[in-house]
Structure 1
């Protein structure tokens, strides 16, 4: 939909002619698809595949699926074919998609704001048990992912999810993905603003709307009034961050254009103050700019961050206000950042109503249907109907009375969920990896779990909150560039000259006041087998060389290359 249809009678802001038509931007009149993905979307809206899954594919089985749906439109409902077993990382970029495909699917359940009731968590757990071989992963975007899903079972899974108010609609694809929100929304003692109503409004008004179901690529959103900034506004396509203006009014500061992958960029402030009642409308304006002006020719440049880089914030704000909103947004303050606050909400903490929340750590986000059923039972037994997922692959149970805190902590830890985890269990994340992901080059979940165990044994007294993020490929699903120690999976040569699984190392990344992408040192790599030795070595050097309360990122920025190897 061109912008003029969004605002009839509004003269579009003059656009620079330089190579814009060649980028396939709709607003400039170039609607002819420039690649296979764009052609596929033009041929049929991804939202239309739902009926075919229910009426045709679930009855005919895997072999009945049209390839254009299988590797394209299925994503609009959270479905990706998973990696066939036994294909090593060296073949990831060599084989054709159909050679990598298994006959089973990953299915992603979107959990907007990370909000779950006991009934919803129980439904998620039962689907894992009954249809997903008891697999479930909590992602760093607050979703839950299943594996081993058969297309024959998808309609029954949808029916169960929708019966408790959950969905897989636009959990993947070139769409507005899950809306991230602080798991403590409405209960945190120091919260600036509760974004729950705004998250729900965006979801109700825009998710599953054909106006936004054909974006150049994925579109990631976060809203939060959390003072620890747990939803990582710096790396989202659009982010609304809770602030209080000079008049004492609460609203949001607007950020646009964050993202990692192979071309990481931090989001940039537009300098506006967005009142709560305008959030959904402003969100739609930003998303519409991406739809209409976003680059569609090359998939590698089809994120809003590239548009922001080319336009700059001043022009983006001008187009938003004049062409899409029809009014000016007032200027506003920047959010207050604290470099010393952890963002994960793990542990036992007081709520504003005097009750407590309990945050706990599954190991690198890997759970099971059985373990999630126990979490639902434990929450219910302790009087809570509110469970939350976090952007760090953790879980939080809200509304625990003070005299039940010890009991719930003991119950969770008896199931392997640590309320007071080691720094390594608390601060380590891992993506799906080669076990299921067709893009991955190396295994991640088991490697990360082993690394945690080894570091707990070798460095039992280590307390500095050093983040360790493990990724199976260059795409940074596990946010390697903003970790203290970011590990990017690749094939490397061991000391015998054999090609084996390993990692390129990024050091000293971070967000907040210490915003920076991790430092890369030429040739700094490790084999997967040698990973615990490397991390132990660099952490011991940090302990030996740090000055006063210097954090790891500051030390890594000034350390000699030789000390980081």
Structure 2
């Protein structure tokens, strides 16, 4: 891309007018952080600092080395998966200019760019900061991206919208001295209903929306979950955490992990091993001590100051009465609502479309093959998010994108715009929607071709036709 075209992206939808990327000034402290990173890169290039010494600093800023020498993977943090069309256009621009023209949506709702020159990373950080995005703490022994159900706020079964709480926790912990050099990575997830789309039991901290009999809302908190070679299901630390105790409770868990975690054996360093070593009752006792010692047991501890996420219906589009709504609680449930053979559109509608709790609106999932999306497709999605929704979208932990607040009356028109660009595959979020990390394609830690296996498995599960009991 020519330098003077940066910030202007040609629309891939019906309009052909350039779409300007809106930017805001970078806060001085963020600019200083980026300049510090660039300074360290110059020191590495001048052999003043070894690559080994630079590595922890690089990882803390969300930059991974690849198995291919001389190039990096840049991981862009997307708290709770919330993106704007404007931000997605910027990611597309960066992928075109500095990477391979492909973005990779991850199981933590991040977006990764691969094959990036280390000398370009500072520029990428600046361009991300202009649209409110960062790579900071997307890697390393920190609190990783805080994830949440992609239907939060529109889910028919949710207790309440967990979005503002996930956002508040994510930004509270970002650059927080409490979690800059922990024994190992730390993962937090929020879910709003019992279906638990965010998979809270496999997280270091899992928070499930709850409501007491007196109507007070809060969270059921579980701790110590994880997968890997030693999977563990998280255990209940508190059946109910009131909102004014949410941040203090999380901080005390992180502090306890930071103090007791194994810093000698990386393979035994996650919080699940701390709990295993102490026993859960002793862990709870130690947590209570940490909570008190950090001063969080004070009765005057104030209410949580929520960071709101504006996600209202599209302007100038009124919802239509709910007719022929997709059935069930979402993906793949119920009939297709169509007499006769199932058309590609009706298969997509059956498997990818979820009725919102707001009458007349639906959420439409865009299935990405193993999380990969081209820059042209990113621009299409950005345009459609503004044309058919409210300019917002979300990434999912199954490596897809989802458009919410789509008026049901415009659903078929949306499908017709997605299909020509390879964005209307059925089966999103179902068993056939196989997820895969980059594996040996790019990852220096990879030991197998996970994408190759995923492609082979996809042949066994034909799109949109997997029995619903699988």
Shared fold, TM over 0.5: yes
1:463 aligned to 454, 463, 467, which one? 467
Partner of 1:129: 96
The corresponding residue for 1:415 is 421
2:358 is aligned with 1:353: yes
Measured in 2, the distance between the counterparts of 1:118 and 1:226 equals 27
Judged with a 3 Å threshold, the aligned counterparts in structure 2 of structure 1 residues 146 and 171 are, in CA distance, closer, same or farther, namely same
Which residue pairs with 2:6 in the alignment?
none
Q: Is the 8 A contact 2:331 2:352 kept in 1?
A: no
2:273 paired residue among 289, 303, 306: 306
- What residue is the counterpart of 2:140 in the other structure? 173
What SS does the corresponding residue of 2:156 show, helix, strand or coil?
coil
Cα pair 1:109 1:167 within 8 Å, conserved: yes
Out of 96, 105, 124, the residue aligned to residue 138 of structure 1 is 105
The structure 1 residue matched to 2:195, chosen from 215, 228, 237, is 228
Q: Which deviations, in whole Å up to 9, do the C-alpha atoms of 1:255-284 show, x marking residues without a partner?
A: 000111111111111243111232122111
Alpha-carbon distance in structure 2 between the residues aligned to 1:421 and 1:53? 42
Q: 1 CA distance for matches of 2:88 and 2:129? A: 13
1:132-281 superposed matches below 5 A: 132-281=99-248
Q: 1:461 to 1:322 in 2, by over 3 A?
A: closer
The CA deviation string for residues 519-545 of structure 1, in whole angstroms up to 9 with x for no partner, is: xxxxxxxxxxxxxxxxxxxxxxxxxxx
Superposed counterparts of 1:285-300, under 5 Å? 285-300=252-267
Cα distance change of structure 1 residues 107 and 221 upon mapping to structure 2, 3 Å threshold: same
Shift of 1:195: 1.7
SS of alignment partner, residue 240 of structure 1:
strand
CA contact (8 A) 2:178 2:254 kept: no
d(CA) in 2 for partners of 1:267, 1:433: 27
**Which residue of 439, 444, 447 maps to 1:438?**
444
Gaps of 5+ in 1: 1-47, 85-101, 330-339, 467-565
- What CA distance in whole angstroms lies between the structure 2 residues aligned with 1:189 and 1:65? 54
> Which residue number in structure 2 is paired with residue 80 of structure 1?
64
Q: Map Cα deviations across residues 49-106 of structure 1 (whole Å, 9 max, x no partner).
A: 854431242597596763234432211011111012xxxxxxxxxxxxxxxxx10001
Instruction: Give the equivalent residue in structure 1 for 2:25.
Output: none
Aligned-partner SS, 1:456: coil
Partner of 1:452: 458
> Does the C-alpha gap of structure 1 residues 443 and 328 become closer, same or farther in structure 2, counting only changes over 3 Å?
same
Q: Distance in 1 between matches of 2:393 and 2:189?
A: 19
> Does structure 1 conserve the Cα–Cα contact (< 8 Å) formed by 2:331 and 2:353?
no
Q: Larger relative CO (CA 8 A, sep 6+): 1 or 2?
A: 2
Q: Which residue of 2 aligns with 1:379?
A: 385
User: Judging changes above 3 Å, is the alpha-carbon distance between structure 1 residues 243 and 232 closer, same or farther for their aligned structure 2 residues?
Assistant: same
Q: Which residue of 1 aligns with 2:39?
A: 55
Q: What TM-score comes out, normalization by structure 1 length?
A: 0.64
Deviation digits for residues 396-447 of structure 1, max 9, x if unmatched? 1111112211111222232212353389774311111111011212222244
For 2:362 and 2:386, the matched residues in 1 are separated by 15
CA distance in 1, matches of 2:375, 2:42: 23
Deviations 1:471-499, CA, capped at 9 Å, x for gaps? xxxxxxxxxxxxxxxxxxxxxxxxxxxxx
Q: What is the CA deviation profile of residues 166-199 of structure 1, one whole-angstrom value per residue up to 9, with x for unaligned ones?
A: 1111000000100011112222222112122222
Measure how far apart 1:220 and its partner are. Answer: 0.4
Corresponding residue for 1:518?
Answer: none
Identify the residue that residue 11 of structure 1 maps to in structure 2: none
Check whether the contact 1:344–1:394 (CA below 8 A) recurs between aligned residues: no
Indicate conservation of the 8 Å contact 2:204/2:225, yes or no: yes
Whole-angstrom distance in 1 between the partners of 2:451 and 2:290 = 46
Change (3 A) 1:432 1:318: same
Deviation at 1:377, TM superposition (A): 1.4
Q: In the aligned structure 1, how far is the partner of 2:431 from the partner of 2:232?
A: 28
323 and 250 in structure 1: CA distance in 2 versus 1, 3 angstrom threshold:
same
Q: Tell me if the contact between 2:331 and 2:428 (Cα under 8 Å) persists in the aligned partners.
A: no
| TM-score normalized by the length of structure 2 | 0.77
Aligned match for 2:82, one of 115, 118, 130: 115
Question: Which one is further off, 346-355 or 105-114?
Answer: 346-355
Task: Give the aligned length.
Answer: 390
TM superposition shift of 1:451? 3.2
Q: Which residue of the other structure, out of 42, 50, 70, is the alignment partner of 1:66?
A: 50
Q: Which runs of 5+ in 2 are unaligned?
A: 1-31, 300-327, 334-350
Whether the 8 Å contact between 1:424 and 1:456 is mirrored in structure 2 is no
Q: Secondary structure at the match of 2:126?
A: helix
| Residues 13-54 of structure 1: CA deviation (Å, up to 9, x unaligned) | xxxxxxxxxxxxxxxxxxxxxxxxxxxxxxxxxxx9854431
When residues 455 and 197 of structure 1 are mapped into structure 2, their CA distance, relative to the original with a 3 A threshold, is closer
